[in-house]
Chains A and B, each alone.
Chain A
């Protein structure tokens, strides 16, 4: 699965949009989809700052995680570049970067969110 892109899928039958891993629509069970891309600037729905990271992130003392929603309803969860000044409702922009080395030493690249100031 390509995780360097925030991409969801849209059900060909009922139009419901959902995360790309579903093989059958979570609304109507149909198995035909089209890919859809994010539209616009996402808004922060909720966030936390985690001070007890899992082993993969053992090099960091803490980091912020947030759930965002794009203008076309696509949602995503990712780390946020800053731990200060976060607020529900604020705008952020996605950025692709390396976030950690996994336990086998493989570099993990994915999206994070940067607050727009």
Chain B
């Protein structure tokens, strides 16, 4: 099997965009071609990760449209779909193309364009079609409702406090405030101050602000708005190549050392314990084994905090903390930049935003910057090894990618 290197990246600003999906994908892709010095090269294959371009943007054949618009013809082009883990699955497809020897130069781009959809409940309904239709969807579930069910079960089982999830949101917003590509580049303190300035109320501190229903309404009890990621537009891209030729393009390539993907039961309540993500245990184990690493070797992680409870259970099932200890560890600052194991220096899905198909790619873009010491004010100092968790379905199809400086 050939080794696979990342030699350049691209990332649009996440948030509300006036651009369409194809324009966002082109923007991130062209940035990545420039960043990797491959602007004049011929690519062998292109993988586009996007969850719902058909439903959200009336696009069928988005990968074919992309290669035409930025002229990567005649590269092979595929659209990869794995729900909110479409980005991670697209990277895996690119990895396999190079590892197998079938391709030498590959573009991977993930994106989604969602904020133009204003019909109440439309996005919620479409995203809920990934749940089990008879056992779950028929009853009116949404992904946030699963977040609420998981949160309550976790707090009950481990005697954890909801406030510890507030601390994770505070940390992720702080990190996002240092990320020029993030949807929200504002700390929660700044959200509170601007609400005070607008005369919306007065609060002694951010903990009080976060308890106020008018500023932080309950969405899926006990989860409130600030425990849940936003709906965002954006795209992120990677150029991958056969590691033997990586130095031809770039001085500091980042290697994909391990990659794993695993599934679990479609119905969440058929799992032995809904607070354990077996698919993550399996896929991160595959990634660690492939890379000959253990959780102790990891300097920085990008986890899939669509709901802040997910950052907690993922930090446990990926091997950083014992079961039941992740929330407390985060509240004690262990996952901050400068802490024992920094998680989501990018701001995570909570603050960077969550354009579904873009997320898995953006996680690896962040690690690329971190491992090359290009992450500016949110740099984790001395980081050489990182891992991701990109969560598809509701934990029933997860991709984990382990990267290291070459």
> Interface residues, chain A, CB within 8 Å of chain B?
1, 3, 18-19, 21, 26, 45-58, 63, 65-67, 75-79, 88, 99-100, 103, 108, 110
Q: Is the CB of B120 within 8 A of A48?
A: no
Q: In the complex the two chains form, is A26's CB within 8 Å of B217's CB?
A: no
Q: Which residues of chain B from 81 to 134 have a CB within 8 Å of any chain A CB?
A: 119-122, 124-125, 128, 132, 134
Q: How far is the CB of A60 from chain B (nearest CB, A)?
A: 8
Contact among B145, B156, B267 with A50 in the assembled complex (CB-CB below 8 Å):
B145
B219: chain A residues within 8 A (beta carbon): 50-52
Asked if A54 contacts B140 (CB within 8 A), the reply is yes
**27 sampled A-B residue pairs with Cβ under 8 A:** A3-B138, A19-B267, A46-B153, A48-B148, A48-B149, A48-B151, A48-B220, A49-B148, A49-B221, A50-B142, A50-B219, A52-B144, A52-B219, A53-B142, A54-B124, A54-B128, A54-B141, A55-B121, A55-B124, A56-B140, A65-B139, A65-B148, A67-B149, A77-B135, A99-B139, A99-B140, A110-B139
B140 to A63, Cβ gap below 8 A? yes
What is the CB-to-nearest-CB distance from A77 to chain B, in angstroms, rounded to a whole number? Answer: 6
- Determine the main DSSP class of A at the interface with B: strand
Chain B min CB distance to A33 (Å): 15
Q: State A103–B274 Cα separation when bound (angstroms).
A: 30
Given that A1-B134, A58-B120 are contacting pairs, would A53 and B269 also be in contact in the complex, using a CB cutoff of 8 Å? no
Known: A19-B267, A21-B132, A50-B140. 8 other contacts (CB 8 A): A3-B138, A47-B149, A52-B142, A54-B124, A54-B140, A54-B142, A66-B149, A110-B139
Closest 10 CB pairs of A and B: A48-B148, A55-B121, A46-B153, A49-B221, A54-B125, A55-B125, A54-B124, A50-B145, A46-B149, A75-B269
Nearest CB of chain A from residue B146's CB, rounded to whole Å:
8
Question: CA A48 – CA B140 in complex, angstroms?
Answer: 12
Counting CB contacts under 8 A, is B152 at the interface? yes
Asked whether B153 lies within 8 Å of A45 as measured between CB atoms, the reply is yes
Q: How far is the CB of B147 from chain A (nearest CB, A)?
A: 8
Residues on the A chain within 8 Å of B122, using CB: 55
Minimum C-beta distance from A21 to chain B (A)? 6
In the complex, the answer to whether B269 meets A45 with C-beta atoms within 8 Å is yes
**Which listed residue (A3, A21, A77, A99) contacts B269, Cβ 8 A?**
A77
Q: Number of contacting residues on B, CB 8 A? A: 37
Report the minimal beta-carbon distance from B380 to chain A, rounded to whole angstroms: 34
Residues of A within 8 A of B218 (CB): 49, 51
Q: Would you list which residues of chain B between 125 and 179 have a CB under 8 Å from chain A?
A: 125, 128, 132, 134-136, 138-142, 144-145, 148-153, 156
Closest chain A CB from B119 CB (angstroms): 7
CA distance A4 to B41 in the complex (A): 60
A-binding residues in B (CB < 8 A): 119-122, 124-125, 128, 132, 134-136, 138-142, 144-145, 148-153, 156, 217-223, 265, 267, 269-270, 274
* A56–B125 touching, CB < 8 Å: yes
Interface centre among A1, A26, A53, A99 (most CB of B within 10 A): A53
Chain A residues with Cβ below 8 Å from B153 are 45-46, 88
Q: State whether B149 touches A110 (Cβ < 8 A).
A: no
In whole angstroms, how far apart are the Cα atoms of A50 and B151 in the complex?
13
By a CB distance below 8 angstroms, the chain A residues around B119 are 55
Complex Cα distance A58/B148, Å? 19
Bound Cα distance A56, B126 (Å): 11
Residues from chain A with Cβ under 8 Å of B138 in the complex: 3, 108, 110
In the complex, how many angstroms separate the beta carbon of B209 from the nearest chain A beta carbon? 19
The CB with the most chain B CB atoms within 10 A, among A54, A55, A58, A76, is that of A54
A110–B341 Cα distance when bound, in Å, is 46
* Nearest CB of B to A55, in Å: 4
B363–chain A nearest beta-carbon distance, Å: 26
Chain B minimum-CB-distance residue to A45: B153
Who on chain A is nearest to B222 by CB? A48
Between A21, A47, A51, the greatest number of chain B beta carbons within 10 A of the residue's beta carbon is seen for A51
What's the nearest-Cβ distance from chain B to residue A91, in Å? 16
Q: Is the CB of B145 within 8 A of A21?
A: no
- CB of B221 within 8 A of CB of A53, answer no
User: How close is A1's CB to chain B, nearest CB, in angstroms?
Assistant: 6
Identify which of B121, B217, B221 contacts A48 (C-beta below 8 A): B221
A65 touches B274 (CB 8 A): no
Q: A103 contacts which chain B residues (CB < 8 A)? A: 125
Residue of B at shortest CB range from A21? Answer: B134
